Amino acid sequence: MPSLASHDETNKALLPRTNAERIMAILALFDNSNNPQAVATILAHIGVGRTTGFALIRHLLKASFLERVDQGWVKLGPAAKELMFNPLGIRFQGRAFSAQGSVQDNEGVSSTIEPGEWSQDVLESVVTQAFVRKPPYKIGFSNASMSNAWRVALVCNTLYAANLHSAEIASLEVKHAEDSPQRQVQQIEELIVSGIDILLVSPAQSDDEVLAAQLRAAIEQGIAVVAVDRRPVDPKAFVSFVTASDSTIGRSSAQWLAEHLQGRGRVWMLSGPEQASPAMKRQSAALEVFARYPDIHLEAVINSHWQESAGREQVAQLLKSSQVPDGVWCDSGLQGVGSIEAFVEHRGGVPAHTGGDLNKMYKLAIHHKIPFFAADYPAAMGGRAIEIALSILAGKVVPKRLEVALNFVASRHCETVSIKADEWAERHVRWDLPDDVVLSQGPSLKIYNDKALREMLSGGDISWPLKDLVS
Amino acid sequence: MSIDAKEMLEKASSDPYTKAIEQVSRLLEEVVRYPHQSARSLSKACDLSPSSGYRMIKAMETQGFLTRDGAGEWVRGAQALQVGLNAWGVGTLGYASEPVLNRLRQNSQSTAFIGALQHGKLWVGPFSLGRGANYLYPQSSGGYAISRSAHEGDLSKLSLVVNNNDFEVTPVFNCLYLPIVKNNQGEWLVVGVLMNKPCVPSVSKWLLEAQQRLQDALAQDDNNE
């Protein structure tokens, strides 16, 4: 009989305590192919005695969550199959079944959208047995900076996930490199010396060879590296990369703008910083789309910081020597809000804009009735990075690249032939929340306004857990 | 109901194991039935007291069986989806399904899904949908009987009906699908789109791409083993 004696004190603390937790632990125990498991193995895994264990198994068999394969062997059953039914993070407008409503005739209308880039590594998986550690884990997060609201939301979401998995995580050290590659290398060294089990990294500069060499060395030492949002150019410098499709953001927003302008007009492009890989991927995907429209004239292609002041200054500068364009392509609302404000101050009308993320961008677009499209870059990827880190440390197979879903948001009546919105901007905006809130951070949006958390996020490096952290 | 049956039912519901299984099941069903913004409202809908409901929902969130979506509504979590796919023998599709289905939806302008064909029924699995009534989404887990099937080029076409014993069978919608793999129980796993309007002409191209990506994911898993 398997006994609790096989678990050390640390593992004992992590054992499921309630019957509900034990049920979930049992269901999660089966592998990808639903290979049968011995009942004795299951009982050892959840750390219960025979009486409780067999009673649980018997009831799970009765409820069809498990089915018996042979004497003492079970696998997932028909009721577990029903758990496959799951919407993938797309917001519902109501859940009543509507098969007949508002059927639109799309006959004869063809989408002009092109396949675009598909990352081959999106389906590549990685075996992680070399990185298995015993919980509770020490996690380090080397964050490029807190220089804009999106990055703050990323860290907020990461802390939320750490709180959620606090039974498995002993500590989470977050160090901000203030966009300095040298500082980041130094901070990662400090994190490694402090004895972290795994490293999350969002590089200040994607093609920094010193950083890549340091990360490769960490992996060789058995410290797994999870890149989040930005990745080193060298694929050997990380185990897994949590991101969203930057090329989809660039391509869909450019396609929308080109179609909104009916293939003709003057466009200004405001991209993010050159050293950030997401900015360059979005820009390059957008340029490919615009290249297919000979009557779209790109009058300015500018790389700026993802900051309101940068967007305002650059547009104000352009307006000194040029007329108001027909459209402004921004890869994010972080600089997009500055762009809109510069046009408002100029009083010459505000052209169609792209670029989401920031609550203020939606507020401004709706208030000034600007034709608008955005694909929010999900700050919720911070939490997903924590989940991937925990999977690696438990030795599970993980994807080389995990793409978090994007939502298309457009102002009402501004959809085009190829680009339909998942949600109207008028519904997506949060008038009850501050301007600087990033809406794509998922569950952590709930705690974003917490005073203690805000102070912590604005106070430099973070050591979690903190006494004052919101529950 | 006879007294004996009532007593038995009460006895069963007081049994801690049955009770825990029922509570977990009820919470997992409720979140796909109706959107709930708060743990309190979700607990109430499942006849749980606010305090024990909160504890259980928190535990399920920690285990990944429940999560909040971007709008703050409770939905089934990644671990629940993974258990479901594992039960069908295709757990490898867990990570791949999200990007593949979202891409298929955005390109085909239709609700995209991974499903399983079993004994004349289509069991709908993870799906991805867009805004409003131009998109369909499945009402509940599986349970769609196939009333007619046909082929359009490489694609198979199904007419589906709601499989609800309380109502007359009524044709509801069509779908186009392609097979991904046959699992070890002889069931076909498929990827497809649901239709309540004419599809964009390029839908077959996007479906073929999704099929290829999902098959690649399964092949990759075999290589790892």
Q: What is the tens place of the pLDDT at every residue in A257-290? A: 999 999 999 999 999 988 787 898 899 999 999 9
Q: What residue in B sits closest to A381 (Cα-Cα)? A: B70
In this complex, is the C-beta atom of B217 within 8 Å of any C-beta atom belonging to chain A? yes
Strand partners for A66? A76
A169-176: strand order across its sheet: A401-403, A240-243, A224-228, A198-202, A137-143, A169-176, A462-464
In this complex, is the C-beta atom of B68 within 8 Å of any C-beta atom belonging to chain A? yes
Of B24, B88, B106, the CB nearest to A408: B106
**Cβ distance A84 to B141 under 8 Å?**
yes
Residues of A in contact with B18 (CB under 8 A): 59, 63
In this complex, is the C-beta atom of B81 within 8 Å of any C-beta atom belonging to chain A? yes
- B62: Cα separation from own chain's centroid: 21
Of B17, B106, B127, the CB nearest to A59: B17
Q: What residue in A sits closest to B200 (Cα-Cα)? A: A110
| Touching A: B residues 159-178, CB under 8 Å | 172-173
Instruction: Return the structure tokens found at B101.
Output: 């289905």
In this complex, is the C-beta atom of B207 within 8 Å of any C-beta atom belonging to chain A? no
Cα-Cα end-to-end distance for chain B: 54
Tell me the three state secondary structure of residue A370: coil
User: Cβ–Cβ of B59/A24 closer than 8 Å?
Assistant: yes
Helix locations, A347-435, DSSP H:
359-367, 381-393, 425-428
H or E element at residue A300? strand A296-303
Whether the per-residue pLDDT at A394 is higher than 60: the answer is: yes
H or E element at residue B76? strand B74-76
Whether the per-residue pLDDT at A104 is higher than 70: the answer is: no
Residues of A in contact with B125 (CB under 8 A): 84-86
For chain A, give the percent of residues with pLDDT over 70: 88
> To probe the interface with A, which of B103, B189, B207 has the most A CB atoms within 10 Å?
B103
Contacts for B225 with CB less than 8 Å, ≥ 6 apart: none
Q: How far is A29 from chain B (nearest CA, A)?
A: 9
Q: What is the pLDDT of residue B25?
A: 94
Residues of B in contact with A161 (CB under 8 A): none
Of A82, A89, A420, the CB nearest to B142: A82
> To probe the interface with A, which of B36, B55, B63 has the most A CB atoms within 10 Å?
B63
Of A19, A98, A424, the CB nearest to B16: A19
In this complex, is the C-beta atom of B198 within 8 Å of any C-beta atom belonging to chain A? yes
Q: What are phi and psi of A222, to 5 degrees?
A: 95, 10
Give buried/exposed letters for B45-83 (b at 16+ CB in 10 A, else e).
Answer: bbebeeeebbbbbebbbbbbbbbbbbbebbbbbbbbbbb
Task: Please tell me which residue, A387 or A95, carries the higher pLDDT value.
Answer: A387
In this complex, is the C-beta atom of B196 within 8 Å of any C-beta atom belonging to chain A? yes
Q: Which pLDDT band, with edges at 50, 70 and 90, does A90 fall under?
A: very low
Residue A408: closest CA among A449, A377, A436: A377
Q: What residue in B sits closest to A30 (Cα-Cα)? A: B86
Distance in angstroms (rounded) separating the CA atoms of residues B83 and B68? 18
Of A104, A402, A443, the CB nearest to B134: A104
Q: Which pLDDT band, with edges at 50, 70 and 90, does A451 fall under?
A: confident
Q: How far is B41 from chain A (nearest CA, A)?
A: 16
Q: What is the pLDDT of residue B128?
A: 81
In this complex, is the C-beta atom of B45 within 8 Å of any C-beta atom belonging to chain A? no
User: Cβ–Cβ of A99/B173 closer than 8 Å?
Assistant: yes
Q: Which pLDDT band, with edges at 50, 70 and 90, does A40 fall under?
A: very high
Of B59, B86, B216, the CB nearest to A123: B216
Average pLDDT score over residue span A340-348: 95
**Cβ distance B90 to B183 under 8 Å?**
yes
Weakest mean pLDDT among A247-256, B12-21, B132-141: B132-141
Highest mean pLDDT among A103-112, A171-180, B29-38: A171-180
Whether the per-residue pLDDT at B137 is higher than 70: the answer is: no
Q: What residue in A sits closest to B161 (Cα-Cα)? A: A99
Q: What residue in B sits closest to A86 (Cα-Cα)? A: B126
Q: How far is A25 from chain B (nearest CA, A)?
A: 8
Q: What is the pLDDT of residue A116?
A: 41
Of B34, B127, B224, the CB nearest to A397: B224
Distance in angstroms (rounded) separating the CA atoms of residues A237 and A213? 7
Task: Please tell me which residue, B164 or A262, carries the higher pLDDT value.
Answer: A262
Whether the per-residue pLDDT at A97 is higher than 50: the answer is: no
Weakest mean pLDDT among A97-106, A161-170, B53-62, B127-136: A97-106
* pLDDT, tens digit (0-9, with 9 covering 90-100), for B82-94: 999 999 998 888 8
Residue by residue, DSSP assigns A146-183 as: --SHHHHHHHHHHHHHHHHTTTTEEEEEEEE-TT-HHH
DSSP state of B114: E
Chains A–B, number of C-beta pairs less than 8 Å apart: 273
Q: What is the pLDDT of residue A255?
A: 93
ipTM associated with this complex: 0.86
Distance in angstroms (rounded) separating the CA atoms of residues B114 and B105? 12
Instruction: Return the structure tokens found at A53.
Output: 């264990």
User: Cβ–Cβ of B84/A83 closer than 8 Å?
Assistant: yes
Q: What is the pLDDT of residue A440?
A: 87
**Cβ distance B215 to B222 under 8 Å?**
no
Q: Which pLDDT band, with edges at 50, 70 and 90, does A372 fall under?
A: very high
Residues of A in contact with B35 (CB under 8 A): 92, 94-95
Residue A398: closest CA among B188, B77, B4, B92: B92
Residues of B in contact with A245 (CB under 8 A): 99, 103
Mean pLDDT of all residues belonging to chain B:
79
Mean pLDDT of all residues belonging to chain A:
85
Residue type, A354: T
User: Cβ–Cβ of A19/B18 closer than 8 Å?
Assistant: no
pTM above 0.80, yes or no: no
Residue type, A424: W
Q: What residue in A sits closest to B16 (Cα-Cα)? A: A19
Whether the per-residue pLDDT at B145 is higher than 90: the answer is: no
| Touching A: B residues 83-122, CB under 8 Å | 83-92, 94-99, 101-103, 106-107, 109, 114, 116
Task: Please tell me which residue, A183 or B99, carries the higher pLDDT value.
Answer: A183
Residue A308: closest CA among A275, A256, A266, A345: A345
